[in-house]
Amino acid sequence: MQEKIEKIKSALQDSKNIVITVHRSPDGDALGSALALSDILSQLNHNVTVVSPNSYASFLYWMKGNDDVLVFLKDLEKSTKVTKDADVIFMLDYNHLSRIGEYSNLVRDSDAFKVIIDHHQDPDLDIADVIISDTSICSTAQLLFNVIEKLGYKRLIKKDVAECLYAGIMTDTGSFKFSSTTAETHEIIAQLIDLGADNSKVHDLIYDNYTPDRIKLLGYCLNEKMKIFQDLHSAVISLTEEELKSFNFRKGDTEGVVNYALAIKGITFAVFIAEKEGAVKLSLRSKGDLKVNEIAKKYFNGGGHVNAAGGVSDLSVEETTNKIIEIFKKYKRVINQ
């Protein structure tokens, strides 16, 4: 790790044009990490721009620096220019260029010094000059905190940065309930609170900020669209694009829905399927030893963590749902353990 830290220090020695990138539809961990790092590097007199491949949930807009984020699909000209002018590119919370969609060609073709900071499995070793990757850590935000500390920049973590990092850790641990949450996680959270993070405010801004339509959509998912297979200890929720539109869907409205299915007593494998922007996307969650990242990779060109993964289907919502039910049956022995 120290050798990698020294390489990053060297790359940041002089004032640089820096671009911080995140995966498509960035979550709290990706955006929180990006805006935290952006703030710190700006304090060091670097010219920093955060670029997101596409738009993201409005409940993340409160983070300091959000107004300056470039959305590649909307701000094509500006995003292209800053990426081509970049001396250093940070790649946060993803480790394959496929995760940034149409923006990937620009990043791939850039001659900038590239740094990956990420906690997902199987990083592409050929796309960055420095890769800091640890799959045992709960979130990129926690890993970034460690990197910031080793770089000697902890003194620059003020309230706004602390709250961005807090949000990243909180969201990627399901409010600290996932098994990836460790004693070190809580120790870092304590430090972030000491550094000014208002934990109650951050929780409220992210989790208690639903629109009436989002609440109604959640009720519809649970009452009308959830199929429970008690004998298979599994559940699936599926939505078409038409159904989403009927609830005035906005990005982020279905985030966390899959966790309600997993919260049912006896359920250890849950899947949420939704048709969005012409693609059928899946969120897979599990408890115990069922490795949903392997299932996502094998059947849905996806991946992620052992107990939380995502993928994409080239079938219809109905066909994808039937495929998932067959997968439930196929993995019955593992699910029931």
Nearest-CA neighbor of 56 among 21, 94, 79, 28?
A: 28
pLDDT at 179: 87
pLDDT one-digit tens code per residue, 5-50 = 999 999 999 888 999 999 999 999 999 999 999 999 999 999 999 9
pLDDT at 95: 97
Adjacent-strand bridge partners of 51: 21, 70
C-alpha span between 98 and 81 (Å, rounded): 21
Q: What are phi and psi of 204, to 5 degrees?
A: -65, -45
pLDDT at 94: 97
* Coarse DSSP helix, strand, coil percentages of the chain, rounded to the nearest 5 percent: 50, 20, 35
CB 288 within 8 A of CB 336: no
Would you state the structure tokens that stand for residue 8, as one six-digit string?
Answer: 């990053």
pLDDT one-digit tens code per residue, 84-138 = 999 999 999 999 999 999 999 999 999 999 999 999 999 999 999 999 999 999 9
pLDDT one-digit tens code per residue, 285-324 = 999 989 999 999 999 999 999 999 999 999 999 999 999 9
C-alpha span between 272 and 262 (Å, rounded): 10
Would you state the structure tokens that stand for residue 276, as one six-digit string?
Answer: 């969005």
Crossing angle of helices 199-207 and 159-172, rounded to 10°: 50
Quick check: 139 pLDDT over 90?
yes
User: Beta strand 303-304 with 308-313: parallel, antiparallel or unpaired?
Assistant: antiparallel
Q: Region 175-194: what's the mean pLDDT?
A: 96
C-alpha span between 273 and 335 (Å, rounded): 19
C-alpha span between 148 and 94 (Å, rounded): 18
Instruction: Locate CATH 3.10.310.30 in the chain.
Output: 212-336
222: Cβ contacts below 8 Å, ≥ 6 apart: 237, 260
Percent of the chain's residues with pLDDT above 90: 93
C-alpha span between 43 and 36 (Å, rounded): 11
Give the max Cα distance, the chain: 61
Quick check: 210 pLDDT over 90?
yes
306 CA to centre of own chain: 15
- Average pLDDT of the chain is 96
pLDDT at 333: 80
C-alpha span between 129 and 331 (Å, rounded): 39
pTM for this prediction: 0.92
CATH classification of 212-336, choosing from 3.40.50.10070, 3.10.310.30, 3.90.380.10, 3.40.50.150? Answer: 3.10.310.30
Quick check: 237 pLDDT over 70?
yes
pLDDT at 336: 72
Q: Is 139 exposed, middle or buried (0-12, 13-18, 19+ CB in 10 A)?
A: buried
Instruction: Locate CATH 3.90.1640.10 in the chain.
Output: 2-207
Would you state the structure tokens that stand for residue 58, as one six-digit string?
Answer: 């409005």
pLDDT one-digit tens code per residue, 55-88 = 999 999 999 999 999 999 999 999 999 999 999 9
pLDDT at 337: 66
Architecture field, domain 2-207: Alpha-Beta Complex (3.90)
